């Protein structure tokens, strides 16, 4: 069954619920808490769209492997996070991304986007044309990888004759795809709305040189205990994470800059594509690379979702008007900015 056929066929008397899961790197673990609360309360999304880490969470949810994604997220610590950093100089990104891809393929398998139980769209950016792309068909793993392929960090993903990169460049919180897929009520999760609570001292979201030394020692110790041993950090990798005289590391500056850009683009897009309900977890104190803080992020996401339940119940009960479905345009460009 094609994606368009499922959109037209999934009609019901109640307003169709759409869920737009925004980008935010490690902060995306908050999506798990949001999904758990919605699931518990019986608010099953009819359509789901995700950008970057939102595409990962949304894809896992629609594919029925959210439990596995949550288990993996909760298992991460600093040592395991470093183990996924497969530096590959000479390619079009700092990281090859193959270790993360292997995790995705292990859980998502060979699933196709068009065969999922509910309409799903992963948002990416066409590197050549600069246009926004909504991936609605093809291998789910590749669609998700394209959506989180942050330029300069991961190489672009070749998908359907296009070179695709992170969708957050154009649409960090993908409300429009939900509407296009037939949603009447859209709940959006914005992971960058809570800003201004970090200071210059907090910019280093990944280990500095001293912490890298500690991780080297830990990997050696793990090897002695019979666990797989990871390679030690070389000079290049060490300089990326190193802090000197209170200055942030290269990686920390990249993460902080990305947060500013995502926040500003999200504000512009949401002004034109406003959701009916906005969920904005209080996670501004957590860095974009704090992958070892899944437990807190999941709890914060659940807390934010609990806060909007009365509003969502009112909307789905028909006490407020809901929007009509929009025309689907998979190549819709970003909204112009005056």
> Which stretches within the chain are classed as H helix?
3-9, 30-40, 53-62, 66-75, 78-83, 98-108, 140-147, 175-180, 209-224, 235-241, 250-272, 294-316
Please check whether residue 252 is in contact with residue 205, taking contact to mean a CB–CB distance below 8 angstroms: yes
The C-alpha atoms of residue 338 and residue 167 are separated, in whole angstroms, by 21
**3-state DSSP: the chain helix, strand, coil percent, rounded to 5?**
45, 15, 40
Residue 295: CB atoms within 10 Å: 12
CA atoms 153, 154, 155, 160: torsion sign: negative
> C-alpha 245: how far from its chain's center?
33
Q: Which residue of the set 52, 147, 249, 252 is catalytic?
A: 52
The answer to whether the beta carbons of residues 283 and 297 sit under 8 Å apart is yes
Helices and strands in the chain, H and E counts: 12, 8
Q: Which candidate in 126, 166, 194, 290 is catalytic?
A: 166
The question of whether 101 is a catalytic residue gets the answer no
Q: How many CB atoms lie within 10 A of CB 212?
A: 20
Please name the residues in contact with 214: beta carbons below 8 A apart, sequence gap of 6 or more: 207
Q: Largest Cα–Cα distance in the chain?
A: 63
Catalytic, 52? Answer yes
**Which pair of structure tokens corresponds to residue 217?**
């020692």
Residue written as token pair 């009960």: 317
Positions marked active-site: 52, 166
């Amino acid at each position: 069954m094609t994606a368009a056929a499922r959109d037209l066929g999934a009609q019901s008397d109640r307003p169709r619920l759409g869920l737009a899961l925004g980008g935010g790197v490690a902060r995306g673990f908050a999506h798990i808490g949001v999904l758990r609360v919605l699931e518990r309360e019986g608010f099953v999304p009819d359509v789901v769209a995700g950008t970057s880490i939102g595409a990962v969470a949304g894809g896992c949810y629609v594919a029925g492997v959210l439990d596995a994604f949550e288990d993996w997220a909760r298992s991460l610590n600093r040592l395991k996070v470093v183990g996924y950093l497969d530096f590959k100089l000479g390619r079009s990104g700092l990281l090859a991304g193959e270790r993360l891809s292997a995790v995705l393929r292990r859980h998502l398998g060979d699933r196709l986007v068009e065969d999922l139980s509910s309409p799903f769209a992963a948002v990416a950016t066409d590197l050549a044309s600069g246009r926004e792309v909504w991936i609605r068909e093809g291998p789910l793993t590749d669609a998700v990888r394209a959506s989180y392929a942050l330029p300069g960090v991961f190489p672009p993903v070749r998908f359907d004759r296009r070179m695709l990169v992170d969708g957050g460049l154009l649409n960090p919180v993908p409300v429009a795809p939900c509407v296009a897929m037939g949603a009447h009520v859209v709940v959006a999760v914005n992971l960058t709305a809570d800003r201004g609570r970090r200071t210059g001292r907090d910019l280093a979201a990944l280990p500095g040189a001293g912490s890298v030394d500690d991780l080297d020692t830990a990997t050696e110790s793990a090897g002695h205990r019979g666990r797989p041993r990871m390679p030690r950090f070389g000079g290049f990798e060490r300089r990326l994470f190193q802090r000197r005289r209170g200055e942030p590391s290269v990686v920390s500056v990249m993460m902080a800059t990305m947060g500013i850009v995502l926040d500003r683009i999200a504000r512009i897009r949401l002004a034109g594509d406003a959701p009916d309900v906005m969920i904005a977890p209080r996670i501004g104190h957590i860095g974009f690379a704090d992958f070892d803080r899944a437990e807190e992020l999941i709890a914060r996401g659940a807390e934010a979702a609990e806060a909007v339940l009365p509003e969502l119940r009112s909307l789905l009960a028909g006490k407020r008007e809901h929007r009509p479905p929009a025309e689907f345009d998979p190549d819709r460009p970003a909204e112009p900015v005056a």
